[in-house]
Amino acid sequence: MNSRSSNKKKRKVRKRRVFLFIVLILILGAVGYVVSQYYQGKREAGEGLDKTKNIEFHGKKDENGRINFLLLGIDKRKNETKSHTDTIMVAQYDPKNNKVKLISLMRDMFVEIPGYKKWKINTAYFLEGPELLRKTIQQNFGLDVQYYVMVDFKGFEKIVDTLAPDGIKIDVEKKMSKNIGVTLEPGVQRLNGKELLGYARFRHDAEGDFGRVARQQKVINALKSEVLSVNGITKAPKLFGTIQPFIQTNIGTGDSIALITKVLLNNPDNIETLTVPVKGSYTNARSDYAGAVLEIDQEKNRQAIDAFLNNDSTQETSTSDQQSNP
């Protein structure tokens, strides 16, 4: 009887060991896959942003526990030592209510830049980088950000092609070709990285920059849906490797993993959007040194931003409402 009991115990121990061994093999295999995919993405990405310079940034944490990011699309032009930013956005993630809000700031807004005279808001980045742009946004709109994220436009193309080799589904509203490097025909279609970037950057129509901002917001929603799909999650390791050379940020590795995990697990249903300047708060004007600019009602836009970020209801501002002057 004791011998039989002893044999049963031995069999149970062996089964546990086999089970633990299999689990260990699966874990090691998963880790190996993640690491290999990450480095494959990094190898295929090639050379990206110059990260040798230490970037100063003194953003503050939101007192309500929300996280604000300054998102910048960077365009490094030939024969120029400084980069331009054609895309300026502030994204806010509220972990308590699981909400994502996105503010698009029009690059032609004529604003006070600390330490300089009035310029278009994107000139702040050209002059001194993300910290001066942060100060400019804080001074003019009362909005501070904790983190910055800069993405090179070349990297955007590679990111899209890694995430969705068959393209991202977009409804192209009209024929587009001028100054975007591709020709797009109207209709629902799948756009590769170069085409999607061209779609997001097109501005040579009656809508101008307002139309471009609306398309950028549309693209971000489409990318967010793809990233949070099963396909996107399985490609996450390679995607991180692809992104790495083309993205520069002050978010620490631990913080970035925690933030990504929260968003992936909670999967916010919608990204609420606002375009600044808002309807009825700007006029088209011309500066003798800055060219065509948007003169804005600073207080009205401050109030709109505050209401958008601090109210629970969606206050999306449509492009069509903002095309004409007030």
DSSP 256-302: HHHHHHHHHHH--S-EEEEEESPTTSEEEEEETTTEEEEEE-HHHHH
Task: Give the pLDDT confidence score for residue 312 in this predicted structure.
Answer: 58
Task: Give the pLDDT confidence score for residue 80 in this predicted structure.
Answer: 60
Q: For residues 51 and 152, what is the distance between their CA atoms, to the nearest angstrom? A: 12
Q: For residues 224 and 134, what is the distance between their CA atoms, to the nearest angstrom? A: 25
Task: Give the pLDDT confidence score for residue 125 in this predicted structure.
Answer: 94
Task: Give the pLDDT confidence score for residue 79 in this predicted structure.
Answer: 56
Asked whether the beta carbons of 283 and 295 are under 8 A apart, the reply is yes
Task: Give the pLDDT confidence score for residue 314 in this predicted structure.
Answer: 42
pLDDT per residue as tens digits for the range 56-106: 899 888 888 898 999 998 876 655 667 778 899 999 988 888 888 999 999
| Domains identified in the chain and CATH numbers | 67-322 (3.40.630.190)
* Count of Cβ atoms closer than 10 Å to residue 61 Cβ: 13
- Provide the CB-side half-sphere exposure for 160 (13 A, CA): 27
Task: Give the pLDDT confidence score for residue 264 in this predicted structure.
Answer: 55
Q: For residues 235 and 212, what is the distance between their CA atoms, to the nearest angstrom? A: 29
Task: Give the pLDDT confidence score for residue 261 in this predicted structure.
Answer: 61
Task: Give the pLDDT confidence score for residue 274 in this predicted structure.
Answer: 95
Residue-wise pLDDT tens for the chain (326 aa)?
A: 566 666 667 677 676 766 665 666 555 554 454 445 444 555 554 555 666 677 889 988 888 889 899 999 887 665 566 777 889 999 998 888 888 899 999 999 999 999 999 999 999 999 999 999 999 999 999 999 999 998 888 888 888 988 888 999 999 999 999 889 999 999 999 999 999 999 999 988 888 889 999 999 999 888 888 877 766 667 666 777 777 788 888 887 666 666 666 665 556 667 899 999 999 999 999 999 999 999 999 999 999 999 999 885 444 443 334 443 34
Q: For residues 28 and 20, what is the distance between their CA atoms, to the nearest angstrom? A: 12
